[in-house]
A and B are shown apart, each in its own frame.
Chain A
Amino acid sequence: MNKSFVIALREYRAAVRSKAFVITLVAMPVLMIGSIIVQVLLRDKVDTTDKTFAMVDRTGQFEDAFKAAVAFYNQAMVFEGEGDERLKVKPEFILEFIDPESIGEPPESTLKLSDRVRNKEISGFIEIDAGVVNSAADAKVNYHSQTSVDNAFRRFASEVVNETIQRIRSEKEGIDQAVIQRVVQSVEVNDMSLVERDVETGGISTPQDSNPVVDIILPMGLMMLIFMAVMVGATPLMQAVMEEKQARISEVLLGSIQPFQLMVGKLAGNVAVSLTTVGVYIAGGFCTLQYLDQSHIFPSLQIIIWLLVFQSLAVLMFGALFISIGAAVNDMREAQSAMMPVMMLAMAPMFVWLNVIREPESTFSTAISLFPPATPMLMLLRLAAPGSIPLWQPFLGCGLVILTTILFIYAAGKIFRMGILMQGEAASFRRMLSWVIRS
Chain B
Amino acid sequence: MMQAVEIESATKRFGDVIAVDDLSLSIPEGSIYGFIGPNGSGKTTTLRMILRIIHPDQGQIRVLGEDSFTADNDLVGYLPEERGLYKKMRVLELLQFFAALKGNRDGKTDALRWLDELGLGEWGNKKVETLSKGMSQKIQFIASIIARPELLILDEPFAGLDPVNSEVIKRTVLELRKQGTTILFSTHDMEVAEKMCDYICMMFKGKKVIDGTMDAIQGDYGQNVVRVKIADGGDIQGQLESLAEVEMVNDFGLVQELRLKPDADTQSLLRRLMELGTVRHFELCRPSLRDIFVRIAGPESEEDSHE
Contact = CB atoms under 8 A, between A and B. Distances in A.
A323 B78 CA distance: 24
A255 B73 contact: yes
Most B CB within 10 A of own CB, among A7, A247, A256? A256
Contacts of B74: 256
Nearest to A253: B101
A350 to B, nearest CB: 33
Contact of B80 (A3, A6, A10, A248): A248
A6 B100 CA distance: 7
Given A249-B86, A251-B82, A255-B76, A421 B70 contact: no
Contacts of A10: 97
B98 A251 contact: no
A252 B83 contact: yes
Given A6-B97, A6-B101, A255 B83 contact: no
Given A252-B140, A255-B51, A255-B144, A3 B85 contact: no
A304 interface: no
A255 B88 CA distance: 21
B292 interface: no
B86 A14 contact: yes
A339 interface: no
Contacts of B84: 244, 246-249, 252
B78 A252 contact: yes
A255 B77 contact: yes
Nearest to B98: A256
Given A14-B89, A244-B84, A256-B73, A251 B101 contact: no
A256 B78 contact: yes
Interface in A377-400: none
Interface in A212-250: 244, 246-249
Interface string A143-155: 0000000000000
Label chain A's interface by main secondary structure.
helix
Interface in B56-105: 70, 73-74, 76-78, 80, 82-89, 97-98, 100-103
Most A CB within 10 A of own CB, among B70, B89, B101, B102? B101
B216 interface: no
Contact of A257 (B80, B85, B101): B101
A252 B54 contact: no
B143 interface: yes
B192 interface: no
Interface residues of B, number: 29
Contacts of A168: none
Nearest to A7: B101
A411 B235 CA distance: 66
A44 to B, nearest CB: 46
A223 B143 CA distance: 44
Contacts, number: 59
A246 B76 CA distance: 24
A251 B53 contact: yes
B87 to A, nearest CB: 8
Most A CB within 10 A of own CB, among B48, B82, B102, B103? B82
A258 interface: yes
B280 to A, nearest CB: 48
A176 B135 CA distance: 99
Contacts of A248: 80, 82-84
B101 A421 contact: no
A14 B88 contact: yes
Given A14-B86, A256-B73, A421-B54, A251 B80 contact: yes
Contacts of A254: 51, 53
A427 B244 CA distance: 57
A363 interface: no
Nearest to B103: A2
A252 B76 CA distance: 12
Interface in A1-27: 2-3, 6-7, 10, 14, 18
Nearest to B74: A256
A3 B101 contact: yes
A246 B70 CA distance: 26
Nearest to B53: A254
Nearest to A2: B103
Given A14-B88, A247-B84, A421-B54, A252 B100 contact: no
B182 to A, nearest CB: 16
A197 B89 CA distance: 59
Contacts of B140: 252
A256 B73 CA distance: 7
B148 to A, nearest CB: 13
Considering the complex of A and B, which 7 residue pairs feature the smallest CB-CB distances, nearest first? A255-B78, A247-B84, A248-B82, A248-B84, A256-B101, A251-B80, A249-B84
Interface of A: 2-3, 6-7, 10, 14, 18, 244, 246-249, 251-258, 421
28 contacts: A2-B103, A3-B101, A6-B101, A10-B97, A14-B86, A14-B89, A18-B88, A246-B84, A247-B85, A248-B80, A249-B84, A249-B85, A249-B86, A251-B82, A251-B83, A252-B80, A252-B83, A252-B98, A254-B53, A255-B51, A255-B53, A255-B77, A255-B78, A255-B80, A255-B153, A256-B73, A256-B102, A258-B70
Given A2-B103, A252-B84, A256-B102, 11 more contacts: A6-B97, A6-B101, A14-B88, A249-B86, A252-B83, A252-B85, A252-B140, A253-B101, A255-B73, A255-B144, A256-B78
